Structures are given as structure tokens and as C-alpha cells.
Copies of this chain bind each other. A is one copy, B any other.
Amino acid sequence: MAIEDLHKDIDKAWPIHLKRTRELLRIPSVSFTGEGIQESADALQEMVEKLGVKAGQFRASKKSHPLIYGHLDVDAKKTILLYGMYDVQPVGNLNEWDRPPFAASIVKKKGEDRLINRGVYNSKGSLAGSLLAIETMLDGNEMPVNVRFLLEGEEELGGRSLPEYVKKNKATLSKADAVFGFDYCENDQGVPVVTAGMKGCLYFDLIADGANQGGPPNEIHSGDAVWVKSPVWRLLKAVSTFVDDNQVPIVDGIWDDVKGPGREDRELIKALAKRIDMDAYKRNLGVDDFKFSGSKEELITKYMFEPSLNICGFEAGYNGVGTKTVLPSHAEVKIDIRLVPNMTVEGTVAKVMAHLKKRGFGDIKIRRYEDYPFSKIPASEDAVRSNIEALRYHGKEPEVWPMIAGSAPFYLFDQVLKIPWSGTALGRGGNAHAPNEYAVVSTMRDYEKSVITVLCKYGEADSRKR
């Protein structure tokens, strides 16, 4: 039986695989500073080429971080795209790390060996593991699918290289059958989480400036506030109309396109509600209560299928120690709106701006960023079903979430290329974007085995080629 043999090969090769994973992790690849990005990209390209693939690097512009691409053709019936990311967050305050962030140290904690390194969990550890799993399958002469690699270095930046590469190579890439992007997907209880949808993320700044409203172009003495209008009040009054007292979005028309869960979603939610411990979820977040009361099912449904409108940051005037009596000339707010089916990025922006204009806030300007629409595939897709079957093969019954509130640019796959995506694998870690980011070493080995299982199951599955 091929799967079992391949798993045994992983066990045999594990010391080498762990060593090679640590070597990759020790090369920094900090998205915001660019530190180590090129060296990491070159090391990854070498790993891909070791699979017998001619690989290359693509950049949207000179300043972009390279995307590694390549095509492994084993003459299999099906072709997958393998999505991965090699860029990582900055390390932050070094003093908060128990070990240096790029030393790939292994330490014992809570009775398990943990590998500590920036990016090991999000997501360079699993990326290395995917490539090593494929290498093992090739060595075992049991490669069930062809693979096109899409390994980006701008995930943390929301860069242009992946979308531009996908759009430029749409004809070729859309011939693939599915996309897999394998992460360490076990939660704290060791339950793997299968995701079949992600909310979109619309992020923008709104800016009120005295110069745009016939008001003070520079900071003035606050005594004049008695007769001079402040851009801070304008922005605050404008933005406060975006949500109701329960902080639910009420931008004019924002609910028009909200579709809510379908039949399949409702069934999955029903099953999920039986398994999820909401108190543990609240404890993790540190909150006493949610915005809403209701059954678990009702809460989860809102979580998945309602939009949120959140203030990520607000800044105006003097915020140092003590007092400064000024009427500021400028105020900015950073907002993210999580988009659910069938909200669109541009439709939502238009609604926000119309909402402001209607209330006399036409002077407030918007600053845009790279946005993601939502991304959603039926849980009945072969890619997802093979994934679930594979996890069951490993004795784990996964939670299947039809939607999560996180976002990634997977619309490129299901909306642009029109192919489904999946990618739950074993593996457990934590502290993404935080100090002491880690992965549990034993689960990193399980991860490689589960990637093999998924690809084998998917290779066997009766594909409905779309």
C-alpha cells in the first residue's frame, strides 16, 4: 500500500528533513524590510529544482519580492497548483523571544519539543515540509499528481507578484484541477480545521483635513474651537454612523448583497455547533461576551456570514504625556471591512463613499490598499473531500468550516482561475506574528505524512474536471 510505504519513508528521512527545514528557517525573509528575501527565494528555488523541475522567479516590479514558479510534470491525470508563502513578519522586540528568532532552536515546553523560529508556523516550516513530502513521493516513484508551484514572498505585504503572475498565466494555470496550500492546521486540541471559505478584506484609511473642508490647514489654539470646526469631530461624527450601538455595520446598503449561508453551509454549521466549545473560544480571545446572544449555531452563522466593520487605528492631534490644548488640522482612521458572499470590494467602497457624501462628508478622502474579495468553494469539491478523507485516514475527524473570518487572496483561485482550493494538513504551532513563534516538532513529521495522504487521495479521486 503506497501511502503506508511513503509514510515509512518519511520516518526514515525525518532527521534529514528536519535538518533541511531548519536550514531554510534560519534564512530570514522579512517581508517589510526585505531582509533575506532574495537568499530565501534562491534557497527555495533550489529546493524546487531538486525535484527535477525547472523553476524561475517572477516579480511584478523591480521592488517586488520574487514569486517562485515551476512545473513538475509526472504525466499524472490531475494537476494541482501548490501555493505557499516564504515571507515572514518582523521579529518585533528581541527581548520578548526566549531564543533568537532565526536560530531554529528546539526547546522542551509543556512536555513537547517545540521548534522556535520566526515563520516556522506562518508558514515557512510547512512550505519546506510540502516540498520534502513531494521529494519523498518522487523518490518512492509514487507521485499521483502533476504540480505547478506558486511560492510567493509578499503574503504579509499584500504584494502584486502573485495576482499579476496568476492573471498573466491564467490560460495555463486555469487548466489545473485544484489548488493546495498546506498549513499546520490542527487547533490547540489537536483537531484539524478544514476551511472552505474566507471572508474578503477591504482595508482603507479615511482622512479628514482642515484644508479640504475650509477649516484650519494647520493646528490652531483650542480656544478657537468655540467657532472653528475641527476635522477630528468631522471624522469622528462621520465614522460613528458606520455602525449601530451594537457595533453592527449600518453603512447604507451594505447588507444588500449579503447572501447568508446556503443549504450545505447550514448543515456544516449544525455539525460544527456540536463540536465547538464557545467558552474556550471566548477565553482565548479574553472576552466575557460576544456582541450577540443566541444559540451556538446562530453565533457561528453570524461569525461566518455577516460582515464586520472594524477600526484598526485612529489618530489625530496630540497624544503624548500630559496636556496640549490644540485644535488639530488632520485626522485619520484605518478601517477594515470583512466581506461575505456576495459583497464586492468596489461595490462596498462605493457604498461607504455614498454614505459619507449623503451625510455631508464629501470632503473626507479615502486612501486605498490591496484588497481581497471573499473566496468560497463548495465543501463537496473533490479537493476538500479528499482532504477530509485523508485526515480521517490519520484518525482525525476534522472540523469543516464553510467560512472563516480570516482573509487570503484565494479569490485568485476560485474566482479568477475558477478552480477549487483546499489544504488542511496535520501540524500544530502558535504565536504567528508574535514572539516565540513555534511549531511542535513531532507534528511537523505528521504534517509531511498528511500531505502525502491528501495528494494520494486526491490523485485517486474521481475528478469532475471543471
Contacts and interface: CB of A to CB of B under 8 A. Distances in A.
A199 interface: yes
B308 A326 contact: no
Given A314-B232, A317-B314, A369-B322, A224 B405 contact: yes
Contacts of A210: 286-287
Contacts of A214: 287-289
B247 A233 contact: yes
Contact of A222 (B228, B303, B323, B336): B336
Contact of A247 (B229, B306, B331): B229
Interface in A295-346: 299, 302-303, 306-319, 322-328, 331-332, 334, 336, 338
A319 B324 CA distance: 20
A215 B313 contact: no
A404 B222 CA distance: 12
Given A236-B314, A314-B319, A317-B334, A223 B406 contact: yes
B232 A311 contact: yes
A375 interface: no
B228 A287 contact: yes
Interface stretch (A47-55, A238-246, A457-465): A238-246
Interface string A139-162: 000000000000000000110000
Nearest to A331: B314
A239 to B, nearest CB: 7
Interface string A268-279: 000000000000
A227 B285 CA distance: 11
Given A312-B326, A315-B319, A369-B322, A226 B303 contact: yes
A292 B303 CA distance: 45
A167 interface: no
B406 A308 contact: no
Output the residue of A157, A299, A334 with the most chain B CB within 10 A. Answer: A334
Contacts of A216: 285-287
Nearest to A324: B312
A226 B306 contact: yes
Contact of A327 (B222, B310, B319): B310
A325 B311 contact: no
A291 interface: yes
A313 B317 contact: yes
A218 B236 CA distance: 23
A355 B224 CA distance: 24
B328 A290 contact: no
Q: How large is the interface on A (under 10, 10 to 19, 20 to 34, 35 or more residues)?
A: 35 or more
Given A312-B326, A313-B328, A334-B318, A292 B236 contact: no
A13 interface: no
Contacts of A237: 240, 243, 245
Nearest to A406: B223
A311 B236 contact: yes
A323 B404 CA distance: 20
Contacts of A230: 247, 310-311
A225 interface: yes
A206 to B, nearest CB: 12
A370 B141 CA distance: 79
B232 A236 contact: no
A3 interface: no
Nearest to A242: B233
A29 interface: no
Contacts of A316: 311, 313-315
Contact of A243 (B233, B302, B326): B233
A203 interface: yes
Centre residue among A239, A289, A325, A332 by max chain B CB count within 10 A = A325
A15 interface: no
Given A228-B291, A334-B323, A312 B306 contact: no
Nearest to A370: B323
A308 B210 CA distance: 18
20 contacts: A157-B322, A215-B288, A216-B285, A222-B312, A223-B308, A223-B404, A223-B407, A224-B405, A227-B292, A228-B290, A230-B247, A230-B310, A232-B314, A233-B247, A236-B240, A312-B318, A312-B323, A318-B334, A319-B334, A323-B336
